[in-house]
Amino acid sequence: MPEAPYAADETALLFIDPYNDFLSEGGKMWPLVKTVAEEVGLLANLRTIMAAVRRSGIQVFIVPHHRSEPGDFACWHHATPYQKQSAAVQVFARGEWGGEWRPEFAPQAGDVVVKEHWGSSGFANTDLDMQLKQHGIRRLVLIGLLANTCIETTAKFGVELGYHVTLVRDATAAFSQDRMHAAHELNGPTYAHAILTTMELLAQLPSRSLAD
């Protein structure tokens, strides 16, 4: 392993779907992720990572799922069952609280907010890959939700595109612990370059001196 695997000038943090519907009490999906989220200490870990990442100078990318609108998928030949369910519930509804950023994780000046993705990959049908290149990024650290859907699919696309990819096992959640197990013990090792805990990640982040 290189001495500084997450050099600030070529590492990006990808924060996937920091919406109220996923991360906030009262959100439409929060009841489904709450159990695992609390077991792994999700919110505290996300806060810790974001603070450390911003201190280190690592570039933050917000990678948002499509915000639901009435009529979504009505004219598609074959939306997936999962997409149809999301449309029925209007997950991350555009213009509503659930589709707003959880305030403490809202983008800050200098963050890159990528185009919304329609499925589970933050790369597919968006400008994520190009924006990463225009920022000199070669290594990705993924946090956010869900471990076995958007995180896993975005991570897999990242590897296929040629990036170095790191998962953080307690900075994500899923609808059940067996989904977490599938993401981090069964599937993750077949594609990811590193699968770390929040503490292990922090130990490897670059520190930026006060003089910077």
Question: Residue numbers of the site for a copy of itself (CB under 8 A)?
Answer: 75-82, 110, 112, 115, 118-121, 124-127, 129-136, 138, 148-149, 152-153, 156-157, 159-164, 176, 178-179, 182, 186-187, 189-193
The letter for the amino acid at 28 is K
Please report how close the Cβ of residue 135 comes to a copy of itself at its closest, in angstroms: 7
Q: Choose between 164 and 169: whose C-beta lies nearer to a copy of itself.
A: 164
CA distance 81 to 85: 6
Q: Choose between 26 and 31: whose C-beta lies nearer to a copy of itself.
A: 31
CA distance 103 to 168: 22
CA distance 75 to 72: 8
Q: Choose between 25 and 110: whose C-beta lies nearer to a copy of itself.
A: 110
The letter for the amino acid at 124 is A
Please report how close the Cβ of residue 76 comes to a copy of itself at its closest, in angstroms: 4
Q: Choose between 5 and 43: whose C-beta lies nearer to a copy of itself.
A: 5
**Residue in the structure block whose two tokens are 């009435």:** 70
CB within 8 A of 169, min separation 6: which ones?
40, 147, 180, 184, 195, 196, 197
Please report how close the Cβ of residue 27 comes to a copy of itself at its closest, in angstroms: 18
Please report how close the Cβ of residue 1 comes to a copy of itself at its closest, in angstroms: 11
Q: Choose between 148 and 198: whose C-beta lies nearer to a copy of itself.
A: 148
